[in-house]
Structure 1
Amino acid sequence: MTPAHGCRALAFITGASSGIGQALALRYVAAGWRVALVARRQAELTAWATAQGWPAGRWQVYGADVAVIDAIVAAGQACIAAQGVPDVVIANAGISVGMDTAERDDIDVMARTFAVNNTGMAATFHPFVEPMRRRGSGTLVGIASVAAIRGLPGHGAYCASKAGVVSYCESLRGELRGSGVRVVIIGPGYIDTPLTRQNRYAMPFLMPAEVFADRAYRAIERGVSYRVIPWQMAVVARLLRVLPNALFDRLLAGRPRKARQHPHPERRRRP
């Protein structure tokens, strides 16, 4: 990708304080890019970035909760003012919490999940759409998940939100067609991060975060519209998509569910 205006290219990455976000930040800096890193834990992210020993001028940290629309929009505007319009914007920030619709607290969990994973993504892109369109170049990247393919018991909020990421990004891609601005959807499978280490079920084809970041970087550079990483999970996802409902439901019977944020120990969890 050619850096805009003859300067070093810039990547804006949310959720950069851990996991996939940090791995992507490391990959982009290794490739010679400047980075704008966003997280709620600004001090922690600043300390981590400082410890990397990156040259001055190569990175900047912005504090924002992507679920707060004005906060993430302000972070994007601050990035434009301080570093210029990014060449790539990666809406990576996301949460994954199990839920039980019978529990009132979990409806709030679902609302928070959508606020981060869906509205937060649109708010992340918002400050950059018009500047990129005027420039005639740029890439907006939505981080989805193979969980977008089918609904998994106990994962209703997360699966629905990630399916929404795919549909939203497809809509945005159509809206920006012909503008020079690309929209890329990356669907991670199971990636070894602090988030997935809390899972209580088998995670096939588990991939180190740095390997995922390298493959995602190359897919974004090529401007693919949609890519599942690793490829083995793409095959599994296609098979699950065409599986008859009765067989799909039987296959998932008894599968451990993602941990809830507000468990009630007095209530026995269904299998």
Structure 2
Amino acid sequence: MNTSATSANAATAIQATKHDRPLVFITGASSGLGQALAEEYAKQGWRLALVARRLDVMQQWREQHGLSTQQCHLYAADVAQPSSIRAVAEQCIQEQGLPDVVIASAGISHGIDTADWEDLAPFEQIWATNNRGLAATFIPFMAGMRARKSGVLVGIASVAGVRGLPGHAGYCSSKAGVIAYCESLRGDLRGTGVDVVTISPGFVRTAMTAKNPFSMPFLIDAQVFAAKAFAAIARRTSYVVIPWQMAWVERLLRILPNAVFDWALAGRGRKPRHKPDV
């Protein structure tokens, strides 16, 4: 019996199975926007590679939606630890193939008092997750996507990245960093066949926004956001604000004089400190 030929045939069969439907890799998939995006991609018939720290929550979600382990693979990882996300990214490529779309959705947000030394640690935690974690999510897939000459890398930013809000120095600065990083990456990958999509949500109804002690105009459900995000990614739109009403708010924020901006934000409620929410 020719065992090498048998192994080769088996590998070919596995490879064919891997690529019968497109694959999306999503971080932060145990809640919020990541979970809503996972649901939308599953609805559209994609294979899923879902990543979060809370594996048990993802397992419950997969069972509730009746998804098979072949259609939906789950990986436990913390994007704030580069070695952790790198390991599951490489595992995904080995088990499911190279993703067609990678969405860096994992993120945390909590209030910061920039005058308090104790808040330096949570500040660093926000950046480790929202920025270094985003870069660490993309890196393992770039070489393969460039060689294949196709793929989409999606960074979830925020309208909060446009101007600095009082009490939100960590989150606002991190999302400004996401916008700038993705823009730089888009230039780096120009002409390679790999596209970079930046999505800036406004207010979306999730566990993260539920604790906001201030008004949230144009608040939308996570499922509505996910459907619009799916369409934008399919079009490979370089930058999009969801919902569209917040795009006008973003434009206004960019041009407001500092004095007017400061006056408008005076007395605005602040997100509670030291309570990370994924």
The TM-score bracket by the shorter chain reads: over 0.9
Instruction: Return the offset for 1:64.
Output: 0.4
Aligned residues: 260
Instruction: Return the offset for 1:211.
Output: 0.4
Instruction: Return the offset for 1:46.
Output: 1.5
For 2:191, the equivalent position in structure 1 comes to 178
Aligned partners of 2:17, 2:251: CA distance in 1, in Å? 37
For 2:56, the equivalent position in structure 1 comes to 43
Q: Output one character per residue of 1:131-164: Cα deviation in whole Å (capped at 9) or x when no partner.
A: 0000010000000000011000000000000000
SS at match of 1:70: helix
Aligned partners of 2:48, 2:73: CA distance in 1, in Å? 7
Structure 1 runs (4+) deviating above 4 angstroms are 3-6
Instruction: Return the offset for 1:237.
Output: 0.9
Aligned partners of 2:220, 2:98: CA distance in 1, in Å? 32
Instruction: Return the offset for 1:14.
Output: 0.2
Instruction: Return the offset for 1:107.
Output: 0.6
For 1:64, the equivalent position in structure 2 comes to 77
Instruction: Return the offset for 1:51.
Output: 2.1
Instruction: Return the offset for 1:104.
Output: 1.5
Give the conservation status (yes or no) of the 8 Å contact 1:97–1:158.
yes
Please tell me the residue identity of whatever aligns with 1:229: I
Aligned partners of 1:260, 1:4: CA distance in 2, in Å? 47
* Bigger Rg, structure 1 or 2: 2
Instruction: Return the offset for 1:4.
Output: 11
User: Which residue of 231, 238, 241 maps to 2:244?
Assistant: 231
Aligned partners of 1:206, 1:74: CA distance in 2, in Å? 36
Question: Is 1:83 paired with 2:68?
Answer: no
User: Which residue of 142, 150, 155 maps to 1:129?
Assistant: 142
For 1:242, the equivalent position in structure 2 comes to 255
Runs of 5+ unmatched residues, structure 2: 1-15
Aligned partners of 2:126, 2:69: CA distance in 1, in Å? 35
User: Which residue of 165, 176, 183 maps to 1:163?
Assistant: 176
Give the conservation status (yes or no) of the 8 Å contact 2:203–2:219.
yes
Aligned partners of 1:39, 1:5: CA distance in 2, in Å? 22
Aligned partners of 1:10, 1:235: CA distance in 2, in Å? 33
For 1:16, the equivalent position in structure 2 comes to 29
For 1:104, the equivalent position in structure 2 comes to 117
- Percent sequence identity over aligned pairs: 57
Worse-matched range after superposition: 104-113 or 115-124: 104-113
For 1:145, the equivalent position in structure 2 comes to 158
User: Which residue of 253, 257, 261 maps to 2:266?
Assistant: 253
Give the conservation status (yes or no) of the 8 Å contact 2:23–2:47.
yes
Give the conservation status (yes or no) of the 8 Å contact 1:4–1:87.
no
Aligned partners of 1:227, 1:99: CA distance in 2, in Å? 27
SS at match of 1:203: coil
Please tell me the residue identity of whatever aligns with 2:199: I
Aligned partners of 1:5, 1:59: CA distance in 2, in Å? 12
Please tell me the residue identity of whatever aligns with 2:153: L
For 2:229, the equivalent position in structure 1 comes to 216
Please tell me the residue identity of whatever aligns with 1:25: A
For 2:213, the equivalent position in structure 1 comes to 200
In structure 2, relative to structure 1, the CA distance for the partners of 1:119 and 1:58 (3 Å cut) is: same
Aligned partners of 1:55, 1:119: CA distance in 2, in Å? 32
